Structure 1
């Protein structure tokens, strides 16, 4: 029997953005948590309460605030909570450079020859 002599790969927790449903590393997303005081941002990612994750992109926040965030937190967002989250979302960029909602599918050049 031989020993394996390789570097251990550290486990990276994965989470899903409730806005666009893309799975990413936990640290790349912003956590929103439901507490007894209401819905709040959780910059540490360790606050007690039910949490949901959203990209730091305005488009994801807009989609999340339409209902997906409230569903993920299993609560109804109060007007105060919604205003606070919308104010945070207004500070975010529309879309990061290099990201696009329409990606090439790689089907160019696959047409049938006559």
Structure 2
């Protein structure tokens, strides 16, 4: 288990709950990215849910990791990635970069799982 996130499975979703406020440190992000890529490569989830509820700060490197995960998950037919718990400043960043148009963003994990 990584110190920056926990992983669980619920209602067909592979859920990654970030446990840190900041996804800004390049060295930490390198480790986080590699761990997330390994997770996706080994489990090949149909539905990946990234929960950013505790995250307040996100760097462009973290956005790049999200995009790479989206590409990796998208290689599996019918697979999807959803972001939830995205705070106002993170949502603004996603809108500025127009990632809100490519990524599915929901208010909470509970809302996503309720529809599962």
> When you count strand as a share of all residues, which structure comes out higher?
2
The TM-score normalised by the length of structure 2 is 0.30
Larger gyration radius, structure 1 or structure 2: 1
Higher RCO (CA < 8 A, seq sep 6+): 2
The TM-score normalised by the length of structure 1 is 0.30
